[in-house]
A = this chain, B = another copy of it.
């Protein structure tokens, strides 16, 4: 039997780096104090929290006091959007976003529209997943208070023209939030240069712990709290601080940005090998997302005539962990809204496969995937009535 375990799902979550766990251990074992406490147990936790805040701030040219810890990327998205909308509803009720946002943004905007009197524009994307800046400009009205556009897409890896979006937002005096969950830790970010007012992050995407995230908030940007209560996080996000999580996040951020350039290069090399290896060797395939404005770790390919979940199961049986935009993996009926927004038919969207690599991915693993994939695809196609039709037509 197969006992290889090849992880190709780094965009879903990542293993913690050893150094990260190591730094966390102290705070899970001995330094358990509450940072808000006055006694020495608490004081050491407080220092550790401040250090982590500074480490993260440094990676994006921000200040420690502009970083607020949250319980994860979804909370950050919810807070930025609901918090800003509620705090600024006297200025207007219109929000601009895109059709390919993560559900943490999309469902949040939909909720505000459905239940709290806001309106929204959902920008289209082109076949590569890029928005049109002209569309954005046209969408802005006197009522527009917030633009929320993701930095890089979690499914197809497409990276938006964030700097241009930031400039448009600034020019129009509209706040700009970006979901940076996928890019943070894998891309160079300068919040000033990019005119980002708020940015969501999630530690477990960059070899940090799960259940901890952050929101960058530019000074002057006012938002209602999402979680009211104690005075933690300068009164903006209540709840006893998850000190080990925060410490781990800080360490992970520091490590991610230590040797960023090299790691980006290496990932792009492996990613391109994966993409070309599949497109060149398996017929009826197509790359989803932009060929170059793309996360360094993302391969997303549609295999026509087969369905994603059965592909995933087959890969899992040979030890490869991947993901798919197939509806069947989410328990819903429709395939990924992102893939449909690219203009894919339902059938093609159902047959998508996402392979995302990470810090521990080796060339051998990529080779192994390239070796295993063709017979699996062929076997599933042989079972498919859609393939039969095509073959019959030849």
Contact assessment for B244 and A210 in the assembled complex, using a CB-CB cutoff below 8 Å:
yes
- Given the interface pairs A202-B240, A209-B28, A226-B226, the reply to whether A39 lies near B312 with Cβ below 8 Å is yes
A73 at the interface (CB under 8 A from B): yes
Contact assessment for B239 and A72 in the assembled complex, using a CB-CB cutoff below 8 Å:
yes
Interface residues on A, range: 35 or more
Contact assessment for B38 and A323 in the assembled complex, using a CB-CB cutoff below 8 Å:
yes
Contact assessment for A330 and B231 in the assembled complex, using a CB-CB cutoff below 8 Å:
yes
Contact assessment for B108 and A331 in the assembled complex, using a CB-CB cutoff below 8 Å:
no
A329 at the interface (CB under 8 A from B): yes
The 8 Å CB contact of A108, one of B16, B42, B228, is B228
Q: Which one of A74-82, A121-129, A130-138, A160-168 is at the B interface?
A: A74-82
Query: How far in angstroms is the closest Cβ of chain B from A316?
Result: 4
A313 at the interface (CB under 8 A from B): yes
Contact assessment for B321 and A229 in the assembled complex, using a CB-CB cutoff below 8 Å:
no
The 8 Å CB contact of A230, one of B33, B103, B224, is B103
Q: Identify the interface centre among A28, A42, A309, A322: most chain B CB within 10 Å of its CB.
A: A28
A194 at the interface (CB under 8 A from B): no
Expressed in whole angstroms, the Cα–Cα distance for A368 and B39 within the complex equals: 17
Contact assessment for A33 and B321 in the assembled complex, using a CB-CB cutoff below 8 Å:
yes
Contact assessment for A41 and B210 in the assembled complex, using a CB-CB cutoff below 8 Å:
no
Contact assessment for B111 and A240 in the assembled complex, using a CB-CB cutoff below 8 Å:
no
Q: Which one of A6-14, A252-260, A369-377 is at the B interface?
A: A6-14
